Structure 1
């Protein structure tokens, strides 16, 4: 099964970015029947870690690793150096990072062009969460993408079906975009199904 770990924006943030997308030229192209592959509202997410193909019988191992990661992220260990040298105790609990969708950019060129909106706010908290998740996946000898986290939400995959001028205009518009602030309160394990219209199944969740 093909797996990834994500956080999902709440409905108000999704409503705002969907409305913004339809004001972009890529949205107008979609309304005109051009297959610019807008991401469905229900599929909009921010990837924290991408595992790729994992054998079915290792799903429980993935869930255990993510459970540990969330607990370690929420209560990072603190080493006491005085009387109990070397002793590790739970540290102060973390709270869910507050995030905002804002700015934007593209990945790839030509037929591989992807349009995305960026993430603002307490992104360092999300990066720490991603680092902890990846560390626990590695401890469990599970596969994952080692590339550095680039927090974003994919809006569309227009490829070369949107002309360069329209794409540049959308990037300028996204540069000034700022959505509502929201707390990332939940980590989600997701199974993806590839195809012309990818679909996603939420397999498990953990509160942050």
Structure 2
């Protein structure tokens, strides 16, 4: 099973961002240039990417995440509040990704990511150890758009500020490769 750990923005934040994305060049290009826009139903902030995990290890993963959520929840007076705001670009050429930033109680989100990764490590569950950079992928224009247009969209996202929302649950997600784009399945959730 291909797994990742995430927090999801609520529907109001997703809808607000969707209205902004609809005004970007990348949205217009998506119809004819094979630019991939992120499906609003799949928008998430990845805390840890586990990759392929044997089904027999699922209990270990769930136990680790439950302990991380409990530890995180016990140290808080209230769930961290975030907002989608600002933007950026990862990669270049065919691997160009346009993203929106997470702002607000980002230090708390970093703390949650550390707890998740620490608990996974203690359980002997491997994960991608790239540094945590909270972001939400908006589109994958690759090299199918003029770089100047992608830069203009990034600049437009720099001006974007979505509504604030509480981070209320930790999610274990399964990614199922499909034709064109993966499908995501929610396997488990823990309150924060």
TM-score by length of 2: 0.97
User: Matches of 1:111 and 1:127 in 2, distance apart?
Assistant: 29
Residue 101 of structure 1: aligned partner: 84
Structure 1 residue runs of 4 or more that deviate by more than 6 Å after TM superposition = none
Whether the 8 Å CA contact 1:3–1:50 is kept in 2: the answer is yes
The aligned counterpart of 1:86 is none
Aligned match of 1:203: 187
Cα distance in 2 for partners of 1:53, 1:68 equals 21
Cα distance in 2 between the residues matched to 1:20 and 1:193:
28
Matched residue pairs, number? 191
* CA distance, structure 1, for counterparts of residue 116 and residue 52 of structure 2: 17
In structure 2, what is the equivalent of residue 49 of structure 1? 48
Deviates more, 1:94-103 or 1:132-141: 94-103
The aligned residue for residue 120 of structure 1 is: 103
* Offset from partner CA, 1:107-136 (integer Å, 9 cap, x none): 100011001000000000100000001000
Who is 1:168 aligned against?
A: 151
Q: Could you tell me which runs of 5 or more consecutive residues in structure 2 were left unpaired when the two chains were aligned.
A: none
Q: Which one has the largest radius of gyration?
A: 1
Deviation at 1:169, TM superposition (A): 0.6
Write out aligned runs for 1:22-33 (5 A): 22-30=22-30, 32-33=31-32
Q: Give the one of 106, 113, 131 matched to 1:130.
A: 113
- Aligned-partner Cα distance in 2 for 1:136–1:192: 21
Deviation at residue 60 of structure 1 after TM alignment: 0.8
Listed one character per residue, the Cα deviations across residues 77-111 of structure 1 (whole Å, up to 9, x for unaligned) are xxxxxxxxxxxxxxxx4421100001110110001
SS in 2 for 1:178: coil
SS in 2 for 1:201: strand
Q: Secondary structure at the match of 1:205?
A: strand
Query: Where does structure 1 lack aligned partners over 5 or more consecutive residues?
Result: 77-92
Q: Decide whether the 8 Å contact of 1:102 with 1:119 is kept in 2.
A: yes
Q: Does structure 2 conserve the Cα–Cα contact (< 8 Å) formed by 1:36 and 1:161?
A: yes
The residue aligned with 1:111 is 94
| Displacement after TM superposition at 1:35 (Å) | 1.1
SS of match in other structure, 1:197: coil
Matching of residue 71 in structure 1 with residue 70 in structure 2: yes
Residue number in structure 2 paired with 1:79: none
Shift of 1:8: 0.5
Alignment partner, residue 183 of structure 1: 166
What is the TM-score normalised by the length of structure 1? 0.90
Alpha-carbon distance, 1:159 to partner = 0.3
Calculate the aligned-residue CA RMSD, in Å. 0.9
Q: Which of the numbers 120, 142, 149 marks the counterpart of 2:132?
A: 149
